[in-house]
Amino acid sequence: MPIATPEQYAEMLDRAKSTGFAYPAFNVSSSQTINAVLQGLTEAGSDGIIQVTTGGADYFAGHTVKNRAAGALAFAAFAHEVAKNYPITVALHTDHCPKDALDGFVMPLIAASEERVKDGGNPIFQSHMWDGSAVPLDENLEIAKEILPRIKAINAILEVEIGVVGGEEDGVSHDINEHLYTTLDDAIATVEALGLGDEGRYMAALTFGNVHGVYKPGNVKLKPELLGEIQAGLAAKYGTDSKPLDLVFHGGSGSTDEEISTAVANGVIKMNIDTDTQYAYTRAVAGHMFSNWDSVLKIDGEVGNKKLYDPRAWGKVAETAMAARVTDATRQLGSYGQSQS
């Protein structure tokens, strides 16, 4: 199916929240990983979100070039074309964009969508993230407040991070400490600055101990019940329904089913997945190479086996392995079999 229209994307998110599931949002960095996500979502009968970080966009542009805006547009162009061949609907999103990357990443992409919308089309990306977790909350929200009207004008959605996700992802890193837990006061400040949808729709990545990457059990203390407490506090203050904010779960690799279920029950409608799919992809490549070492290498005067060292041979193996992890994610989040395409 074609990439989701703004109306379809809004309907996807509304349905997830009202039904009680979340969409997996997969980070990609190549045409192969895009295809793996589309394959996995199709096998799961699930719609979903495909996203790119600044580092992923740099790689799409060519690792010696690092023109992230051009790389993001190339990613979107490829995704828009190949998605037509699959019977599910996906939205495109740009992930973590810190302050020093705004002018070279999100802002040029918004400008490109503004031109597209001016000509009667849809935005190139359906949502963009501004990651202000490295700056004081007041500055974080002030920048979000400046971006939101432009996002609303192209009928897209803004994602903000309120609190700090520990660990590191594509150069955005934070310590693991008490700042990993968003407070009700933080959430109130967010609503005071951005409203509750009247100034433009946004999703909030409230933090509850989240950490990017994979850590051994016991090293990360997730408190997804905190999301419910914050939602209840906002509902009481503003007289809204029980879950006024659309929430995003970052740093979820290795989370238990119970932690994920609790987060979704408290209003999470989008969960980012990167580390687990990276491992699934690379583990399959490693398996192919180790199992066929005497065919992918030219050893003892032999010429190897072109059918096994052809990048398409191990690429298909890797895509299928990553697709399986994509399908697993839809089961964890409840979007399995929920496609309305």
- Give the residue ranges of the annotated binding site for Zn(2+): 96, 131, 161, 212, 250
**Distance of alpha carbon 186 from alpha carbon 38, whole angstroms:** 36
| Helix axes 106-118 and 68-82, enclosed angle (nearest 10) | 50
Active-site residue (options: 47, 95, 186, 328): 95
Q: How far is CA 318 from the centre of its chain?
A: 20
> Phi and psi for 315 in degrees, rounded to 5?
-65, -40
- Report CA-CA distances (Å) from 22 to 1, 179, 203: 20, 25, 13
Query: Quick one: which H or E segment has residue 273?
Result: strand 268-273
Q: What is the DSSP letter of 5?
A: P
Please, what's the b/e burial string for 35-57 (b: 16 or more CB within 10 A of its CB; e: otherwise)? bbbbbbbbbbbbbbbbbbbbbbb
Q: What is the DSSP letter of 101?
A: G
C-beta atoms surrounding 86 within 10 Å? 16
170 as an active site residue: the answer is: no
The annotation places the binding site at 96, 131, 161, 212-213, 250-253, 272-275
Active site residues: 95
